[in-house]
């Protein structure tokens, strides 16, 4: 049964560069989420032919919001929804799912690196069929809808059990609960030499991956500890929590100080990586050594030939305006394309789609490549592990040699 609910506009639902991001208590206001989702669907024609991804980073209000989105999508006659098991999907894994399944878009519920919990932040990242953030013209059209909305549609049906893989149908909408972990792990194995990385991680090399109680914890446990056979305990803070366990899930020297303290102690690990709440940002640390995001992008680009997926060459590289010119020097040396864009990941997407760049990065701890259309923290970790495995140098030596 489809209900049509009368509503009044919220005039603050203008989208930023990464979607709608508000304090959780604001997003929990009556009809607030419903208005925004209906406004998105109002801008998309032929919904009976469209398929979308739904998932989130596990923060507070995600479980309730996912159920609401499913019911609103059913009421709007959406053809199909792929919903992540347990409601958990990282931003990079979500982009991969959209591209792999030729979906028309997706909704990843995350406020990225912002704090969670009832007093924290909540967000909705709306991705299009590109696998990346919607463009300014699309977000403007959605905002225009939010200013004039007077009703939304919602299906009066039971909540979906997201704890098991299954396929259901309500009204005209097929709902498929999927495992986002295996898909993403398979993608990484198609890019990197896992045998070479496994040799490193099963030696006396000590690695720490800090998921900061965000969504990449389950992905990292599967990839690093199960597939690559790193010792149990390699992945820390791996259980996604609604308030991120009190952590501010932003992987930098301030908010990941607990990891920095380990790496600058008398008994540091050889290598450490931290990811943010939704898995698209990364911080790289060696023994008593911090690699800045700008230098990390330059070093990865300079070592692209060590990675099987890139051995035949890369198109080029791009950076945000605030990122240092280090990567330009690399691009000039390698004689590959180089581009500079305004701050905002969406500006990289057209360069990827037109085969102008393979790698890109920004100053705010984000690096990625054209295997998806988002930043990718685990990809960056695996790239660094590949360099460490093949050069047999320390992080500090790699940086200084570079």
The residues annotated as belonging to the active site are 112
Q: Is the dihedral of CA 300, 305, 308, 314 positive or negative?
A: positive
Within 81-237, residue ranges assigned H as helices are 91-100, 136-148, 180-191, 194-201, 216-220
Q: What is the CB-side half-sphere exposure of residue 140 using CA atoms within 13 A?
A: 3
Whose CA is closest to 399, among 269, 262, 281, 298?
298
Work out the angle at residue 362's Cα, subtended by the Cα atoms of residues 27 and 349, and round it to the nearest 5 degrees: 75
Point out which residues pair with 167 in neighbouring strands.
176
Q: Do 162 and 88 form a contact (C-beta atoms < 8 A)?
A: no
Q: Do 287 and 395 form a contact (C-beta atoms < 8 A)?
A: yes
> How many residues appear in the chain?
402
Element (H, E) at 281: none
Point out which residues pair with 340 in neighbouring strands.
319
Cα 95 to chain centroid distance, Å, stands at: 8
Cα 163 to chain centroid distance, Å, stands at: 21
Token code pair at residue 57:
């980073």
Q: Do 63 and 163 form a contact (C-beta atoms < 8 A)?
A: no
Element (H, E) at 391: helix 377-391
What is the pairing mode between strands 282-286 and 271-275? antiparallel
The greatest distance separating any two alpha carbons of the chain, rounded to the nearest whole angstrom, comes to 65
Helix (H, G, I), strand (E, B) or coil at 375: coil
């Amino acid at each position: 049964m489809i209900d049509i609910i009368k509503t009044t506009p919220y005039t603050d639902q203008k989208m930023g560069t990464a979607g709608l991001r508000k304090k959780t208590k604001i997003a929990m206001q009556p009809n607030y989420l419903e208005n925004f989702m209906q406004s998105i669907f109002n801008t998309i024609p032929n919904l009976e032919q469209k398929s979308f991804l739904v998932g989130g980073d596990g923060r507070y209000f995600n479980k309730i919001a996912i159920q609401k989105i499913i019911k609103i999508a059913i009421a709007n006659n959406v053809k199909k929804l792929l919903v992540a098991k347990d409601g958990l999907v990282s931003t990079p894994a979500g982009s991969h799912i959209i591209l792999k399944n030729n979906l028309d878009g997706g909704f990843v519920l995350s406020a990225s690196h912002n704090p969670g919990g009832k007093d924290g932040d909540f967000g909705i990242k709306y991705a299009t069929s590109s696998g990346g953030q919607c463009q300014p013209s699309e977000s403007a059209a959605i905002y225009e809808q939010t200013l004039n909305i007077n009703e939304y549609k919602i299906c009066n049906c039971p909540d979906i059990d997201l704890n098991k893989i299954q396929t259901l149908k309500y009204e005209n909408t097929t709902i498929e609960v999927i495992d986002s972990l295996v898909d993403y792990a398979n993608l990484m194995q198609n890019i990197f030499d896992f045998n070479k990385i496994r040799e490193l991680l099963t030696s006396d090399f000590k690695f720490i991956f800090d998921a900061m109680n965000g969504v990449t914890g389950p992905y990292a446990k599967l990839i690093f500890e199960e597939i690559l056979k790193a010792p149990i305990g390699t992945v820390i803070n791996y259980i996604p929590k609604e308030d991120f366990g009190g952590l501010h899930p932003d992987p930098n020297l301030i908010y990941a100080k607990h990891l920095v303290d380990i790496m600058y102690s008398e008994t540091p690990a050889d290598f450490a990586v931290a990811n943010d709440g939704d898995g698209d940002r990364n911080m790289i640390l060696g023994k008593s050594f911090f690699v800045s995001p700008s230098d990390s992008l330059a070093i990865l680009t300079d070592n692209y030939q060590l990675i099987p997926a890139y051995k035949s060459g890369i198109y080029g590289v791009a950076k945000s305006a605030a990122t240092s010119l280090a990567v330009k020097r690399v691009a000039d040396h390698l004689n590959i394309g180089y581009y500079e864009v305004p701050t905002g990941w969406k500006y990289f997407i057209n360069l990827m789609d037109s085969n102008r760049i393979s790698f890109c990065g920004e100053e705010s701890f984000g690096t990625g490549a054209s295997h998806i259309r988002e930043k990718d923290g685990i990809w960056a970790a695996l790239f660094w592990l590949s360099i460490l495995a093949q050069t047999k140098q320390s992080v500090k030596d790699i940086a200084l040699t570079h």
